[in-house]
């Protein structure tokens, strides 16, 4: 799918319906990884798992996600992407059916590992697919649209799982998920463009080893990956701690009510999808600066939660707006560096995300125990400030590759 340019015509780009297809498929794929979180109590009862150990179900999906980033997502650079997506989609449907029919805790954990593995492989594979299918002048717009679908899928996963489980039990959630993935399978197969892998036809082991080379040589990936690590650490500092003050007096909200606060962020996240368009127009660095400032400013109203829940709502919108705008911009700039390595680049980039998320979650509980909600907000603001300072420091040693997609605007005073 290429763009054609002439003095009398506008660039021809990816049709809106195809961007929406990428967004819908990405959102449905990532949701599978998160359905289990509101179902842990029911799973503990059905399989006789203690409350302390049932968290292993979520851990199994996260281990699968990490393995996908290292072992499956890079295949998109070597194999025909449409065929790869088709095979992974069928395998994901099978894994969802295995979860729905699991009769033992061991079978459940293995099936959840498969869901995490294949759900993540589909999600990140589709993001890389969208970037490769897009013309250079619209890559940011397309990636932003697909990433918006991912964020909506993340938010709606818990709502969907809770609603369906109330009607049909937890097994019904995974049966319904399998049906949804089957419904999207045919449009994906019929409508996605055939894209052969662009990487050299070397062995699988060489393909994986090349990821270390990319990580060592691509300065854009290093810088944007560190920004992602810090940004997602800040995200998890907030979301991991939010349940603690809201579930205690004077709020004493139910878990359903607390989860509803996550939906507030949809407005900010969808607005952030436009960050890809700004990157296409050459404003990647300015968008990064604005996103990091918004991320930092969000902690002001968040710290006022004890005085006003409206301040909390405003803070969530700002946090998601800044974070998602930076995330979309990061991916837009990274994908411009190596057109032959989109799948490996997104796999490596998301590993930074995973590390940042884990560090943020670990730091949060200890901070809350020692300094309460204000301490959590101070920690989040500190990490956000560090991200802003890191971005500013790296402007002075910016490699030429970082300037791709930002022609004429970098260092402009």
Domain 12-198 belongs to what topology? Growth Hormone; Chain: A; (1.20.1250)
- What tens digit of pLDDT does each residue of 340-392 get? 899 999 999 999 988 888 888 788 878 988 999 999 999 999 999 999 999 99
Burial of 198 (0-12, 13-18, 19+ CB in 10 A): middle
Instruction: Name residue, tokens 């368009």.
Output: 277
Q: Of 55-59, 184-188, 301-305, 324-328, where does mean pLDDT reach its minimum?
A: 55-59
- What tens digit of pLDDT does each residue of 12-63 get? 578 899 999 999 999 999 999 988 877 877 888 888 887 667 777 877 888 8
- The C-alpha atoms of residue 391 and residue 294 are separated, in whole angstroms, by 14
Q: Please check the confidence at residue 7 and state whether its pLDDT lies above 70.
A: no
Domain ranges of the chain: 12-198, 200-403
CATH of 200-403, one of 3.10.150.10, 3.60.15.10, 1.20.1250.20, 1.10.10.60: 1.20.1250.20
In sequence order, what are the residues at sequence separation of 6 or more whose Cβ sits closer than 8 angstroms to the Cβ of residue 28? 153, 180, 181, 184
Q: Is the dihedral of CA 211, 213, 214, 216 positive or negative?
A: positive
What values do phi and psi take at 6, rounded to 5? Answer: -150, 165
- The C-alpha atoms of residue 45 and residue 53 are separated, in whole angstroms, by 12
Q: 53: closest CA among 106, 101, 96?
A: 106
Q: 139: closest CA among 398, 401, 352, 337?
A: 337
Contact between 143 and 127 (Cβ < 8 Å): yes
Q: Of 15-19, 125-129, 195-199, 201-205, where does mean pLDDT reach its minimum?
A: 195-199
- The C-alpha atoms of residue 121 and residue 161 are separated, in whole angstroms, by 21
Using DSSP, state whether 249 is helix, strand or coil.
coil
- The C-alpha atoms of residue 368 and residue 379 are separated, in whole angstroms, by 10
What values do phi and psi take at 298, rounded to 5? Answer: -60, -30
Give whole-number Cα distances, 104 to 36, 76, 178, 388, in Å: 16, 34, 20, 48
Tell which wins on pLDDT, 10 or 364: 364
C-beta neighbour count of 370 within 10 angstroms: 9
pLDDT value, residue 4 = 39
- The C-alpha atoms of residue 52 and residue 306 are separated, in whole angstroms, by 30
pLDDT value, residue 112 = 93
Q: Of 83-97, 116-130, 151-165, 394-408, where does mean pLDDT reach its minimum?
A: 394-408
- The C-alpha atoms of residue 401 and residue 142 are separated, in whole angstroms, by 20
- What tens digit of pLDDT does each residue of 230-281 get? 999 998 899 878 878 887 888 888 766 776 777 887 777 777 777 878 887 8
User: Given phi > 0 = left and psi -120 to 50 = alpha, else beta, which region is 252?
Assistant: left
Q: Tell me what the mean pLDDT of segment 131-143 comes to.
A: 86
Q: Please check the confidence at residue 90 and state whether its pLDDT lies above 70.
A: yes
Tell me if domain 12-198 and domain 200-403 are identical in fold.
yes
Helices (H) and strands (E) in the chain, counts: 14, 0
User: pTM score, two decimals?
Assistant: 0.83
Contact between 375 and 367 (Cβ < 8 Å): yes
């Amino acid at each position: 799918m290429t763009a054609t340019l002439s003095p009398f015509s506008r660039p021809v780009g990816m049709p809106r319906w195809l961007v929406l297809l990428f967004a819908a498929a990405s959102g449905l794929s990532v949701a599978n990884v998160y359905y289990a979180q509101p179902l842990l109590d029911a799973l503990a009862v059905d399989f006789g798992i203690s409350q302390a150990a049932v968290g292993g179900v979520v851990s199994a999906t996260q281990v699968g996600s990490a393995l996908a980033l290292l072992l499956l997502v890079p295949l998109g650079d070597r194999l025909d992407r449409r065929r790869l997506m088709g095979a992974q989609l069928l395998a994901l449907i099978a894994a969802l059916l295995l979860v729905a029919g699991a009769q033992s805790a061991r079978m459940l954990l293995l099936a959840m590992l498969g869901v995490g593995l294949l759900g993540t492989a589909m999600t990140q594979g589709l993001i890389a697919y969208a970037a490769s299918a897009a013309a250079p002048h619209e890559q940011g717009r397309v990636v932003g649209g697909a990433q918006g679908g991912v964020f909506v899928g993340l938010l709606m996963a818990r709502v969907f799982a809770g609603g369906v489980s109330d009607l049909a039990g937890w097994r019904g959630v995974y049966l319904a998920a399998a049906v949804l993935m089957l419904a999207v399978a045919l449009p994906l197969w019929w409508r996605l463009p055939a894209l052969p892998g662009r990487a050299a036809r070397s062995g699988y082991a060489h393909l994986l080893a090349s990821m270390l080379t990319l990580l060592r040589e691509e300065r854009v990936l290093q810088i944007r990956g560190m920004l992602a690590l810090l940004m997602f650490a800040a995200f998890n500092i907030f979301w991991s701690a939010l349940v603690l003050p809201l579930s205690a007096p004077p709020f004493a909200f139910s878990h359903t009510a607390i989860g509803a606060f996550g939906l507030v962020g949809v407005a900010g996240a969808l607005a952030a999808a436009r960050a890809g368009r700004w990157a296409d127009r050459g404003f990647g660095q300015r968008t990064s600066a604005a996103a990091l400032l918004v991320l930092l400013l969000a902690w002001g109203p968040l710290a006022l939660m004890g005085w006003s829940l409206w301040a909390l709502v405003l803070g969530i919108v700002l946090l998601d707006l800044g974070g998602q705008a930076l995330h979309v911009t990061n991916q837009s700039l990274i994908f411009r560096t190596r057109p032959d390595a989109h799948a490996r680049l997104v796999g490596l980039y998301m590993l930074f995300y995973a590390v940042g998320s884990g560090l943020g979650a670990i730091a949060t509980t200890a901070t809350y125990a020692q300094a309460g909600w204000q301490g959590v907000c101070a920690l989040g603001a500190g990490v956000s400030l560090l991200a802003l300072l890191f971005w500013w420091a790296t402007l002075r040693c910016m490699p030429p590759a970082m300037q791709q997609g930002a022609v004429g605007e970098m260092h402009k005073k």
